Structure 1
Amino acid sequence: MAHGNGTSDGTTIPDHEFWDTFYAEHDQIWSGNPNVVLVRETRGLTPGTALDLGCGEGADTVWLAGQGWRVTAVDVSRVALGRAAGQAAAAGVADRVDWQWHDLAESFPEGSFDLVSAQFLHHPSEIFREKILRRASGAVAPGGVLLIVGHAGFPAWEEHGHEEAHFPTPDEVLAALALAEGEWEVQLSEEHERIQNGPDGQPTTRTDNALKVRRRG
């Protein structure tokens, strides 16, 4: 079953095809720097096992591995995974990363992890995103942390016309996780602004949100 992205003619492209095409259009899409919230919120953690959901070109994975984490890195795009593996090899941390291909709406990595990171893991279907994030919470080991970062809205340069799209608040993400009462503590729930360059190279302010929860050990 394909859970894909719509096109202008109303057809649906499976996620893996959409993202393979997306990454293949350029030699590099993202900045190559780890996400700021991930860096800030994991610096005080003892490195252990980490799961990076939607790893893309691997900047977060490579940074975590460089900090001593053993990382399982997952993406739906084999093009992105190949590129990310090259970045890990160049950084000398390839032996600390297990690259796995998954369509997370259909399959999920096995095991439990001290850190599960979902950075901007949006999905055309909010139902499937909630399902994925609930599975992510189930993969957190006792004493471990789940960190979810997402957009709070479309960027200023993108045309509107997405009235049906909804960007959940941190409180809505927390509610959708349906965490067992008494087994988790919320360590971060916030909206924050950051500067991002638009397609024209001009900086603009974007609002994102973050939720960090810890499973009690």
Structure 2
Amino acid sequence: MHAPDASTHADAHPHAGPDGAPGGGGGGTARDWWEARYAERDGIWSGRVNAVLADVVVGLPAGGGRALDLGCGEGGDVVWLAEQGWTVTGVDLSRTAVERGERAASEAGVADRTRFVAADLATWSPAVEERFDLVTASFLQSWPVEIPRDAILHRATSAVAPGGYLLVTAHAAPPHGDLPEAMRTYRFPAPEQDLAALQLDDGWDVLVAEGRPRSTTGPDGERHETVDSVVLVRRRPGEGPSA
């Protein structure tokens, strides 16, 4: 799962579907919806890293570490992080997306530094002893079928190791001007709302909570100005997850 079609948002993941429901229907579970979406064609995202993630990682300590990508889609960010030296786990609702991610990692020669998990983030959590230096959720948004996004983001904080980072990037406005009916009532989160969803205690530092303007190209080829919500927080060294 993630953001829009690769043709409309070249560096986005998948967990959002602004082009409307595949096959014209929005019924069934979120897993059904996304499996149908991925069945439309082989490769619905660009395979390139999200620009915000790339910018953030450049500013982190060199050498990589352990990373977790929530809603990894077809693995573009997972593969890129592995190429930078990280050991990465990618989780997505769609088994089809996960299989494509595994294939992409193998083709890029980084299969030994990647692990993909097909699981519902509404209930999935890493093992209690498993903590990550970077947890990222890029465009973890879904319409017309909803996911418990705020709860997923809050649970993600428990996966961050002491001294580690959590990055949440989201569409804070429509990614392009031609909105389908299913998208017109969607609530786009502001940075303040995503920060509130994390429910951070005093053991965290907020490094970034802002909207970042960006230009996109819509399905009709027209340029469109939009805004991404970017929230980056860091668990203080020595601070562990709350019980």
**Same fold by TM (over 0.5)?**
yes
1:150 equivalent in alignment to 2:170: yes
Q: Report if the CA contact (8 A) 1:33-1:59 is conserved.
A: yes
Kindly state the Cα deviation for residue 9 of structure 1 after the two structures are TM-superposed. 9.2
Aligned to 2:192: 171
Question: Counterparts of 2:234 and 2:96 in 1: how far apart (Å)?
Answer: 33
Q: What SS class does the counterpart of residue 13 from structure 1 fall into?
A: coil
Q: Which has the higher contact order (CA 8 A, sep 6+)?
A: 2
TM-score, structure 2 length as denominator? 0.80
Q: Report if the CA contact (8 A) 2:122-2:147 is conserved.
A: no
1:46-70 Cα shifts (integer Å, max 9, x gaps): 3100000001111100000000100
1:115-167 Cα shifts (integer Å, max 9, x gaps): 00000001458881111001101110000000000001223111357564211
Q: Of 99, 109, 114, which aligns to 2:126?
A: 109
AA aligned opposite 2:191 = P
Q: Report if the CA contact (8 A) 2:135-2:165 is conserved.
A: yes
Aligned to 1:121: 140
Aligned to 2:160: 140
Question: Counterparts of 1:9 and 1:60 in 2: how far apart (Å)?
Answer: 29
Aligned to 1:38: 53
Residue 167 and residue 61 in structure 1: after superposition, are their counterparts in 2 closer, same or farther (change >3 A)?
Answer: same
Aligned to 1:184: 204
AA aligned opposite 1:109 = P
Residue 127 and residue 23 in structure 1: after superposition, are their counterparts in 2 closer, same or farther (change >3 A)?
Answer: closer
Question: Counterparts of 2:158 and 2:133 in 1: how far apart (Å)?
Answer: 12
Q: Of 62, 70, 80, which aligns to 1:63?
A: 80
AA aligned opposite 2:197 = A
1:26 equivalent in alignment to 2:41: yes
Residue 69 and residue 18 in structure 1: after superposition, are their counterparts in 2 closer, same or farther (change >3 A)?
Answer: same
1:100-129 Cα shifts (integer Å, max 9, x gaps): 111111222322100000000014588811
Kindly state the Cα deviation for residue 202 of structure 1 after the two structures are TM-superposed. 3.2
Question: Counterparts of 1:161 and 1:15 in 2: how far apart (Å)?
Answer: 14
Question: Counterparts of 1:95 and 1:161 in 2: how far apart (Å)?
Answer: 40
Q: What SS class does the counterpart of residue 33 from structure 1 fall into?
A: coil
TM-score, structure 1 length as denominator? 0.89
Kindly state the Cα deviation for residue 26 of structure 1 after the two structures are TM-superposed. 1.3
| Range that drifts further, 207-216 or 155-164 | 155-164
Q: Report if the CA contact (8 A) 2:26-2:33 is conserved.
A: no
Question: Counterparts of 1:197 and 1:94 in 2: how far apart (Å)?
Answer: 32
Aligned length: 212
Aligned to 1:200: 220
Residue 62 and residue 79 in structure 1: after superposition, are their counterparts in 2 closer, same or farther (change >3 A)?
Answer: same
1:192-212 Cα shifts (integer Å, max 9, x gaps): 122222222333222111000
User: Greater strand percent: which structure?
Assistant: 1
1:211 equivalent in alignment to 2:202: no
Q: Report if the CA contact (8 A) 1:15-1:103 is conserved.
A: no
What is the CA RMSD across the aligned residues, in angstroms? Answer: 2.3
